[in-house]
Amino acid sequence: MPAPTPPTAPQDRPPYRPDPAGGCPHAANARLLAQGAVTPVVLPGEVAGMAVLGHDALRDFLGHPDVAKGARHFTALAEGRVPDGWPLLTFATVPGMSTADGADHRRLRSLVSGAFTPRRVEALRPRVAAVTAELLDDLAAAAEAGGGVADLRRHFAMPLPLRVICELLGLAGHRQESLHHLSQRIVATDTTPERAMAANRELVALLTAFVAEKTEAPGDDLTSALIASRDEEGDRLTHAELIGTLVLLVVAGHETTLNLVGNAVRALCAHRDQLLHVREGRAGWAEVVEETLRWDSPLGYFPFRYPTRDLVVDGTLIPRGTPVLAGYSAAGRDPKAYGPDADRFDVTRVPAVRHLSLGHGAHYCLGAPLARLEATLALEALFTRFPDLDLAAPEAELPRHASFVGNSVRTLPVRLG
């Protein structure tokens, strides 16, 4: 038998520097995938890391028992080699289920998972539909005031998931705009250390004040239930974990769906034949959502996971303690998983493997049922009311997210027709 091929060391491949200012990831992804499923990266602040890009490699990595989320496994952070104000620090250190492993992760996830079961989410359908209808009126009014053009992201795609998650949490409406702007600053990767630290302080202060209000006057909402777990069953939730859980629910609870809806609208406007498939019954809106998740994932490169021992992934060595990005946007267009036409948007596609854009394994997205419901209802209602809706600017001119974590555009001007 031939001797096994030794694993490729990270230094054997030129590192990729994800652009902190964001940009469309797909051309770079295709180039990187052609070289292999795993690549070394250099993160902002000259922090060395790795990214897993290939579908099968990423699926296996996300589910590997020797891969952790806890920041204590992040070697450079533990050794003081990560600069203060690092723009990705919140992803690594926010207390809560997104940075917990094992029993701690199960404990924290169990405190909120009941609110996101398929049955509980289905019960939200009438409310999501009602909010959608209200926002379509707002979108029409904005277009009328804007000479026929409105920013669909601002007037529709953003407020829908934000309002729904804030209602679940019991957050008053006047805070929602602030929460969104702070979320945008936290997920940005082109920010300065001072701005990154200020955004974190402001968001924590806002949520801490909100928790104090809810402690005095609890309601029938998820935050009040979490406060009860903290106060009545103190071993189940610390105050820091409570605030961290709210940060996660607010940011992830609307940013992903916001990007998903915007990406789907852009895809359908650029592929009118695919929109015709839906109108003629060859595909449903749920298929549009799944193909968008695969073809233009709302997440580009998501931080972080850490091997707890040296790990060989698809022939490449990832040293213990390395911060690893999950390359969701790359995995969705991996030709080895989806064939030679992986970069084609096709709502009638029947893929051989399931996309990974909502995660895999123990940390699979808790809000996946809600994100799917919101996006499906939003797209159906939008194109039913405005069947001739189209982009009001060339796709190439739309400003992109200032982040390689989120994958979408900052504004989405449309003509309603």
For strand 149-151 and strand 47-52, is the pairing parallel, antiparallel, or unpaired? Answer: unpaired
Largest CA distance in the chain: 73
pLDDT tens string 61-98? 999 999 999 999 999 999 999 988 899 999 999 999 99
Per-residue pLDDT, averaged over 101-120, amounts to 92
- What confidence score (pLDDT) does residue 91 get? 92
The two three-digit tokens of residue 352, written as one number: 């051989």
Q: How far apart are CA 259 and CA 287, in angstroms?
A: 17
Rounded to 5°, the CA angle 277-382-166 comes to 130
Say whether 259 sits in a helix, a strand or coil: helix
- What confidence score (pLDDT) does residue 2 get? 45
Q: How far apart are CA 168 and CA 400, in angstroms?
A: 29
Distances (CA, A) of 326 to 24, 128, 187, 238: 16, 30, 15, 29
Nearest CA to 73 among 244, 281, 303, 323?
323
Residue 417 has pLDDT above 50, yes or no: yes
pLDDT tens string 291-337? 999 999 999 999 999 999 999 999 999 999 999 999 999 999 999 99
Q: How far apart are CA 168 and CA 148, in angstroms?
A: 34
pLDDT tens string 26-39? 999 999 999 999 99
Taking the alpha carbons at both ends of the chain, their separation in whole angstroms is 66
What does pLDDT average to over the chain?
Answer: 93
Residue 368 has pLDDT above 80, yes or no: yes
**Torsion of the alpha carbons at 403, 404, 407 and 412, rounded to the nearest 10:** 30
pLDDT band at 347 (very low <50, low <70, confident <90, very high): very high
pLDDT band at 1 (very low <50, low <70, confident <90, very high): very low
- DSSP 8-state assignment for residue 283: S
Length of the chain: 417
Lowest mean pLDDT among 193-207, 345-359, 403-417: 193-207
Highest mean pLDDT among 170-179, 198-207, 236-245, 337-346: 337-346
Distances (CA, A) of 269 to 151, 388, 389, 398: 15, 9, 8, 14
Q: How far apart are CA 284 and CA 380, in angstroms?
A: 9
- DSSP 8-state assignment for residue 158: T
Distances (CA, A) of 53 to 1, 235, 283, 311, 326: 30, 39, 29, 16, 7
pLDDT band at 5 (very low <50, low <70, confident <90, very high): low
Q: Which residues of 157-186 are buried (b: 16+ CB within 10 A; e: fewer)?
A: bbbbbbbbbbbbbbbeeebbeebbebbbbb
- What confidence score (pLDDT) does residue 190 get? 86
pTM, full prediction: 0.95
pLDDT band at 232 (very low <50, low <70, confident <90, very high): confident
47 beta partners:
43
Q: How many CB atoms lie within 10 A of CB 400?
A: 17
**Torsion of the alpha carbons at 338, 339, 343 and 348, rounded to the nearest 10:** -70
Q: How far apart are CA 358 and CA 338, in angstroms?
A: 17
Answer yes or no: are the C-beta atoms of 208 and 195 closer than 8 Å: no
Alpha helices for 114-175 (secondary structure H):
118-123, 125-145, 152, 159-169
pLDDT tens string 199-212? 889 999 999 999 99
Q: Say which residue, 231 or 301, is predicted with more confidence.
A: 301
Residue 162 has pLDDT above 90, yes or no: yes
Contacts of 317 (CB under 8 A, 6+ apart): 7, 8, 9, 10, 310, 311
- What confidence score (pLDDT) does residue 9 get? 66
Rounded to 5°, the CA angle 19-24-29 comes to 80
pLDDT tens string 384-407? 999 999 999 999 999 998 899 999
